[in-house]
Chains A and B, each alone.
Chain A
Amino acid sequence: MEFILQPWPWYVSGPCIAIIMYLLLYFGRTFGMSSNLRTLCAIGGAGKRVAFFNFDWKSQKWNLIVVLGAIVGGFIAHYLLSNPINMDLSEATVKDLTELGFNDVGQSLLPPELFSWDAVFSIKGMSLLIVGGFLVGFGTRYAGGCTSGHAITGLSSLQLPSLIAVIGFFLGGLIMIHLIFPILF
């Protein structure tokens, strides 16, 4: 039990993610989380105005059930299967973030500087979350997948388009952290 309550090492977590991908393939589906954003747009009626959302979203219900399960899984892991301990981040990361003005680095899953209600209801905080989310939604659909669809499923099946997409993920991430963060924070 003690092992479960500790943070899981990468060599346990990685293979578990591969098993999740494989189970969904075994059930005749594919592992792709960002597709749910398109499905939710379709459920909201976007198909009436934009052809891209005019599809049979009911065929995607299974994936929304995965999402529902993931939310429950997040609850179980966080409230029932975790010892309250700080994250074991690298010292360099803690130092860099402290220099950018972040406090209590690694004491919660998300930095209060961005996700606490105080931050959310400031103009800067709200704008950062909205811009970040918007780029994720726009970029994943443009690229046709996210970490689950391209990085895990696409690379596991040795597909070149997914490799190009993953190179893009890192290009964008590196630009954000190394060039844009010093301006934002």
Chain B
Amino acid sequence: MGKYIKFFIVGIFFGIVLVKSEAVSWYRIFEMFKFQSFHMYGIIGTAVGTGVILLLISKQKNIQTTEGTTLRVPLKDRGFTRYILGGTIFGLGWALSGACPGPMYILIGTGAFSIIIVIAAALLGTYVYGLLKDKLPH
């Protein structure tokens, strides 16, 4: 159990940040896709900016992970179709339900239990993707 404590703590921090930044709010996602506020762009922009800097520094200093390997981000497979099509399908659902997979779980903690229906449907969507995977263009 001890080795999982750090993940639990990171999760708690993640939940707190996404609630306090209002990124878990359906309204904020609507506002973002309407380009009516800088808020969500500021969050994603500074997250990516900080992320780029952290990864560059860590590459330069050759930082090791706690597992004893060199810290690096696994590379995504090359491709186009799956990313643009899958991305668009996710975007449609993100805007409609107002929740991406992180906020879905976090919202349970805020007492918004009807989000469990969205999670159940997301599990079904994931399952159907697994069923159709070999028939889809990637």
Contacts and interface: CB of A to CB of B under 8 A. Distances in A.
Interface residues of A, number: 126
B86 A131 contact: no
B24 A139 contact: no
A69 B88 contact: no
B22 to A, nearest CB: 6
A170 B33 CA distance: 8
Given A137-B121, A168-B88, A161 B83 contact: yes
A interface SS class: helix
B17 A171 contact: no
Contact of B20 (A77, A155, A177, A180): A77
B50 interface: yes
B11 A132 contact: no
Contacts of B82: 142-144
A149 to B, nearest CB: 9
Interface in A112-157: 114-117, 119-120, 126, 128-148, 150-157
Interface in B31-87: 31-34, 36-52, 54-55, 58, 63, 65-67, 69, 71-80, 82-87
Interface string A71-103: 111111111011000010110110011000000
A182 to B, nearest CB: 12
A68 B11 contact: yes
A73 B122 contact: no
B48 A139 contact: no
B12 A36 contact: no
Given A78-B111, A109-B26, A120-B114, A167 B84 contact: yes
B44 A37 contact: no
A77 B88 contact: no
A69 B117 CA distance: 20
B1 to A, nearest CB: 10
Given A13-B20, A109-B22, A156-B73, A61 B30 contact: no
Contacts of A116: 114
B86 A165 contact: yes
A79 B112 CA distance: 12
Contact of A141 (B4, B13, B106, B130): B130
Interface string B80-120: 10111111111111111111111011111111101101111
18 contacts: A4-B20, A15-B50, A21-B47, A71-B105, A77-B110, A78-B109, A81-B20, A109-B19, A120-B114, A132-B118, A136-B121, A139-B89, A143-B89, A144-B77, A169-B91, A174-B91, A174-B95, A177-B33
Interface of B: 4, 6-34, 36-52, 54-55, 58, 63, 65-67, 69, 71-80, 82-102, 104-112, 114-115, 117-131, 133, 136
